Structure 1
């Protein structure tokens, strides 16, 4: 599970990326941009779910390779950390409730629900609830902290390169 120190590390990396995007694109972070980030987070969650394929009861096709699933998950991590930054969430005070979701389907619905509650309330408590629920996927898929940090760092570099190449 990600520790407070891991979350602080991700936050510091995300602050640099967010600032680079804001400066490069000359964006003013306001309510409209924050809503777009919440939508982007939900889209990335959906892309993760789509690659995992557990909900596709009608299909025999297996889940995508773990590397693809984790890359989609890391896109979610970028946005959820960025949203925490937007509300000045104190990651040092985050006490992970260690929600052990039983499966990706239940996790998916709970993450959507908590993301919409966060969008409505837009406060630290609703963010903490969303982050708790989101991080529970690490238990379901037995994702290690090292996997998250390593893939985040690789994707972070890609995101910087994308900004430099007109993405």
Structure 2
């Protein structure tokens, strides 16, 4: 997937957040916690791990919004570590739960020693989640743009 347009939009959002919140220092730890949280919220929307639930009604709009939230934080890391904008989805298993576990593991690896290679791998695994769920590149782009607009509105309204 070519993430160039998304990265360009993320640069503008990151600058707007920095300006609105007068951020001067690095906030990488907070971004990693946010990334864990957003991937967890996405997993919660997918519901695949909820073995105790018989009825799993998935709201596609909520699912896409949560996916976009995770993508926002990944793109911030991609910008910081000057990642390639062309990243192919990495599907490590047809089992979505295993893919989620590998995603969480890839985020954990960023804590110890973050690097361009590790960020690109995390993005590839995240794109792999979308592939497993048959979320097209167009849907990813649309979801990102919608959430990006919402985030700019939040900044404007002192969120």
Q: Name the TM-score, length of structure 1 as normaliser.
A: 0.89
- In structure 2, runs of 5+ residues without a counterpart are none
Across the two proteins, how many residue pairs are aligned to each other? 159
Deviations along 1:102-124, one digit per CA (max 9) or x if unpaired, are 12211111001011112211111
Q: Tell me the C-alpha RMSD between the 2 structures.
A: 1.5
CA contact (8 A) 1:96 1:132 kept: yes
Deviations along 1:97-143, one digit per CA (max 9) or x if unpaired, are 64253122111110010111122111111112111111101221111
Offset, 1:64: 2.2
For 1:65 and 1:17, locate their aligned partners in 2 and report how far apart those are by CA, in whole Å.
26
Offset, 1:68: 1.1
For 1:70 and 1:100, locate their aligned partners in 2 and report how far apart those are by CA, in whole Å.
21
Deviations along 1:4-45, one digit per CA (max 9) or x if unpaired, are xxx111110000000000011100241xx1111111011000
2:35 to 41, 60, 63: 41
Residue aligning to 1:138: 130
Offset, 1:63: 3.7
1:78 to 52, 72, 78: 72
Residue aligning to 1:17: 13
1:111 to 96, 99, 103: 103
> Runs of 4+ in structure 1 displaced over 4 angstroms?
none
